[in-house]
A and B are shown apart, each in its own frame.
Chain A
Amino acid sequence: MKLACVVHRFGANIAGGSEGHCRLIAEHLAARHDVTIVTTCAHDHITWKNHYPPGASDVGPLRVLRFPVARERNLHRFMDISDSVFGDRATPEEQEQWFRENGPEAPELLEYLRQHGREYDRVLFWSYRYYDAYFGVPLVADRAVLVPTAEEDPLIHVDALGPLFAQPAGFLYLTPEEAELVGARAPAGKPSAVIGCGLDPAPASLDLSGLDALGLVDPFVLYLGRVDPNKGCEALIRHFVQYAESGRRVQLVMAGPANMPIPEHPLVRPLGFVDEGTRDALLARAHILMMPSPFESLSMVLLEGWNRGLPALVNARCRVLRGQVLRADGGLYYRNGMEFGAALDYLLDHPTESRVLGAQGRAYVDREYRWPTVLARIEKLLAETA
């Protein structure tokens, strides 16, 4: 098949969840299909400033077509219209305008889809919340497959999504919770599949010597990802510091670029951005993986942790995380500081049970998230949307 994968930004060093998901899926589909990435020149997800040159290029097995962003995001205007739209006070026109303000506004990308979209057998769109998907899906609706990457945030309740979700020929979801969330707003009977994302088995041996210089204390629990209030990191630090005050000697290691101040505390160790090797070594040596995010459509980090047999402690207020942990029997969850402390105590005080939970997580990844399984689900959906 000739496939187009439309995504708001694309690049090897772009860390975003949906962008990374698109790249992985596209690279694996390219083994059997002719795959083109249709994207913008943006690199920065806040401003959408043009960074990459427009035009065609080859990235590994993929052909990449980039289109310029017509204007950078005006954050004040975006915040204002978000308040109005999420406060349920917006007209349909304002709701549509929200998707323009969110961007990245790339009219030439839409023009390309209008003129050439039908040359592709299927056009896959990542993330319904961005300009390219919201305005692009209707242009190629009969062959569009939407990967919504929807979270349980206020946007999902906006009326403008009803008409959007009625358009695509099919849906690829990341979790059953996301399928339920979007399915409630989409017409019944559309082909769909829950795919998650594929992982290769973790290598058996790893060089852990790089960790020696990082000042880590055993045992440590690991947060991996952007350190950001929207990812639940403020609450994680608050719960952890309260827990540490009880006298328990365990370190919280936070590996990822920080978008918020991290308080100085002898048992909180911020590492900033870490390379792939350090990331793997941290996953191999940590005792527990922490996932405090209140909004997720799929936690790839959770799957990576389980891939290494690491038990997880997740925020139960996120239905996706709680669902993943319950399906995998791969960790515990918490709703507040007291449950956080009790669950952390259990995992640290019961090393055998912790190992079993981690092993059950790995078995879940083996069952559900190996590439052959994930690709078979995608191929079936692509065939069903013919």
Chain B
Amino acid sequence: MTESPLRVDALMREIEGDVLERLRRHVIKRGGASEYQNEAIFEHVRDVLARAADERNLDALLLPELLDGDAEWELQTRLDLSTHRPGLIGGTILWAKRRILLPLTRWLFEYSQDNFRRQHHLNRVLLACIEELAIENARLRRDVSELSKKS
């Protein structure tokens, strides 16, 4: 029986370290970037991407705000049934779309909607990755600029 208490954070550091090393070897074996031969570079790349994927609040990103005015970039997962026809004819067409066409094609709609949601999530993670890299770049620029001022 183990006498001293087991610390989960220490155990997890060990497990995460092993997994990271296995992942590095796996990616290299499959022809991944040669830079990954260097453990420190691999770890740094993984940290930057993991920060974007796990720690960034995907609802508070800069790039979507910048994109917002120029283009419709968000996937529209909601189904808006409409018609350009006015009055009774328009109402009848909408009724037929809702009550007849939609139930008939619901499986296709739901299948697509699920995939759209996944794609939307992936888009947001990729936007977060770009932002994380931009932040890293800005930090490096600031550090280089301060160093060149000093020298």
Contacts and interface: CB of A to CB of B under 8 A. Distances in A.
A333 B54 CA distance: 14
A339 B15 CA distance: 7
Contact of A329 (B1, B7, B16): B7
Nearest to B11: A332
Interface in B1-36: 1-2, 5-9, 11-12, 15-16, 18-19, 22-23
Contact of A330 (B8, B18, B78): B8
Contacts of B6: 329, 353, 356-357, 360
Interface residues of B, number: 21
Main secondary structure, interface of A, reads helix
A331 B8 contact: yes
Contact of A352 (B1, B22, B54, B78): B1
B143 interface: no
A280 B5 CA distance: 27
A349 to B, nearest CB: 12
Interface size bucket, A side?
20 to 34
Interface in A338-386: 338-339, 342-343, 346, 352-353, 355-357, 360
Contacts of B15: 332, 339, 342-343, 346
Contacts of B79: 80
A79 B109 CA distance: 13
Contacts of B22: 338
A83 B79 CA distance: 10
A342 B18 contact: yes
B94 to A, nearest CB: 13
Contact of B19 (A333, A338, A357): A338
Interface of A: 79-80, 83-84, 87-88, 154, 157, 317, 325-326, 329-333, 335, 338-339, 342-343, 346, 352-353, 355-357, 360
Listed from nearest, the 6 A-B pairs whose CB atoms lie closest are: A83-B78, A329-B8, A338-B19, A342-B15, A342-B19, A356-B6
21 contacts: A157-B59, A317-B54, A325-B8, A329-B5, A329-B6, A329-B7, A329-B8, A330-B8, A333-B12, A338-B19, A339-B19, A342-B19, A346-B11, A352-B1, A352-B2, A353-B11, A355-B1, A356-B2, A356-B5, A356-B6, A360-B5
